Amino acid sequence: MKVHLQTIGCRANQYDTEAVGAMLMAGGHQITANVAEADVAVINSCAVTLEAEADLRQRVRRAARANPGLRTVVMGCASAMPEAQQAIAALPTVQHVIPGADMVRMANALELDAALASSLPTTQRGARALLRVQDGCDEHCTFCATRIARGLNRSRSPAILVAEARELANRHPEIVLTGIHIGTYGADQGTSLGELVERLVLEVPDVRFRLSSIEATEVDDKLAEMLGSDARRVAPYLHAPLQSGSDRILKRMGRHWYTASRYVTALEKLVAGMPVFGLGADIIAGFPGETEEDHEATLELVKSLPFSAIHVFPYSARPGTAAVHMAGELRKAVIVQRAAELRALGSHKAVQYQNARIGGEAEIVVTDGGTQPRGVTEDFLTVAVTDARYPRGSRFRARLEAGDSGLRTKPLVG
């Protein structure tokens, strides 16, 4: 059986797709990038925004046009939402709708031995590997459908994670720790994310570990120590969701565990004295009830911190969330304008950060080969790789210099 895999959404979704791929490979089946030659398509869905669900529908229909005889299985967050399941099932060629990442149900849908559901994705398609450390979330952000789809926080065993990381390190120079709310890792097991990272560094040699999205105020002393310890082993980079710079809006969002000032203090403490540290954030533009003053507070906060990148999401009402019942819905034109202002500021901050890195050294992981090789630095900058000696999946040190469209590597002498 030939199976085509697609992923929409976050790295946790990407990990789940890799797990499906591992299950298929263990069963003796073939993964194909060409949907036209596939017997089955597995599409992993996202429920974060209306656009993500529209993307799912477009992908299913596009695959069906390319291959009318295809059998399609939809999994992921959108397929876990009761309001969406019937509409997804009605799409052309869809035969199964699997809520979340239920691997046993996926095995049944793919007519595989259920024992294969425990297959671990220790050989992944990307140059950088993903390691999901936990799933679910115990918080109740009023805009978030993911927590509904994913359930409560569930941490994986440190011993299992170390064993999986050792296997991944044999084939991948970088491992990204991912999940839905990774800052809560270990809360149900009497440990913490900082302790896990320390153990991974001690017991899995050579590879570089990177954190995916984590709340700024959940970086404890141990994790901060690891982030500042050795850039070759733990990437000095943090993607810390902000969502709003207005305390009033943060309260409406249900993000009770920090204020704007606490967010700033946490990040300033973390980057203080660090010669290289990348800093990213998520921001929602146009949340219900957001005033121009609230928007200006977010702009001012972004200006005050050394962000290297920000991701801006126009507010998208999600069925089943508390925010859909809130008063103060903004006109689409206002949301679009505020998102554009935030993106422009984010682009300016990104250029500032990149310019400051020109002439400095970096540890590059080559993520793309071919005619235009590219890589990623420890502080999560994408760079053009100019040295043909380093293929996809390799790792090397280089000096950074200005290129035609961003940064590029300059080989170090010797």
Residue 189 belongs to a domain: yes
Domain that includes residue 50, residue range: 2-118
What three-state secondary structure class fits 26?
Answer: helix
pLDDT value at position 40? 98
Residue 79 belongs to a domain: yes
139 and 113 co-located in one domain: no
Residue 308 belongs to a domain: yes
pLDDT value at position 274? 94
103 and 146 co-located in one domain: no
Identify the residue whose tokens are 């507010």: 315
What's the maximum distance between 2 C-alpha atoms anywhere in the chain?
63
105 and 148 co-located in one domain: no
80 and 168 co-located in one domain: no
Domain harbouring 216, CATH code = 3.80.30.20
List average pLDDT for each run of 10 residues in the chain, which is 414 residues long. Answer: 96 95 96 97 94 95 97 96 93 96 95 94 93 95 90 95 97 97 96 98 97 96 96 97 98 97 97 95 98 98 97 94 96 98 98 97 94 95 93 95 92 71
Q: Helices H, strands E: what count in the chain?
A: 12, 18
pLDDT value at position 365? 97
Alpha helices in 307-331 (DSSP H): none
Least Cα distance to 127 among 404, 382, 360, 311 occurs for 382
Buried b (16+ CB within 10 A) or exposed e, 184-201: bbbbeeeebbbbbbbbbb
Contacts of 64 (CB under 8 A, 6+ apart): 70, 72, 91, 92, 93
pLDDT value at position 147? 82
Domain count, the chain: 3
Are residues 302 and 405 in contact, defined by beta-carbon separation less than 8 angstroms? Answer: no
What three-state secondary structure class fits 376?
Answer: strand
Token digits of residue 402:
């200005």
Strand order in the sheet with 30-31: 30-31, 2-7, 40-45, 71-76, 94-97
Residue 140 belongs to a domain: yes
pLDDT value at position 80? 93
How far is residue 337's CA from residue 188's CA, in Å, rounded to a whole number?
A: 42
Are residues 198 and 177 in contact, defined by beta-carbon separation less than 8 angstroms? Answer: no
Q: Is 6 exposed, middle or buried (0-12, 13-18, 19+ CB in 10 A)?
A: buried
Q: Is 333 exposed, middle or buried (0-12, 13-18, 19+ CB in 10 A)?
A: exposed
236 and 345 co-located in one domain: yes
pLDDT value at position 414? 54
238 and 337 co-located in one domain: yes
Least Cα distance to 234 among 186, 280, 199 occurs for 199
Q: What is the dihedral of CA 112, 130, 179, 271, to 10 degrees?
A: 180
What three-state secondary structure class fits 37?
Answer: helix
Residue 301 belongs to a domain: yes
Are residues 379 and 368 in contact, defined by beta-carbon separation less than 8 angstroms? Answer: no
Last residue of a domain, one of 118, 148, 175: 118
384 and 337 co-located in one domain: no
What three-state secondary structure class fits 141?
Answer: coil
290 and 403 co-located in one domain: no
Contacts of 232 (CB under 8 A, 6+ apart): 208, 363, 378
Are residues 15 and 132 in contact, defined by beta-carbon separation less than 8 angstroms? Answer: yes
Residue 6 belongs to a domain: yes
pLDDT value at position 413? 65
Residue 123 belongs to a domain: no
Residue 316 sits at the vertex; the CA angle it makes with 312 and 320, to the nearest 5 degrees, is 135
User: Position 232: which residue type?
Assistant: R
Residue 21 sits at the vertex; the CA angle it makes with 106 and 36, to the nearest 5 degrees, is 95
Residue 216 belongs to a domain: yes
340 and 385 co-located in one domain: no
326 and 188 co-located in one domain: yes
Contacts of 297 (CB under 8 A, 6+ apart): 244, 245, 246, 260
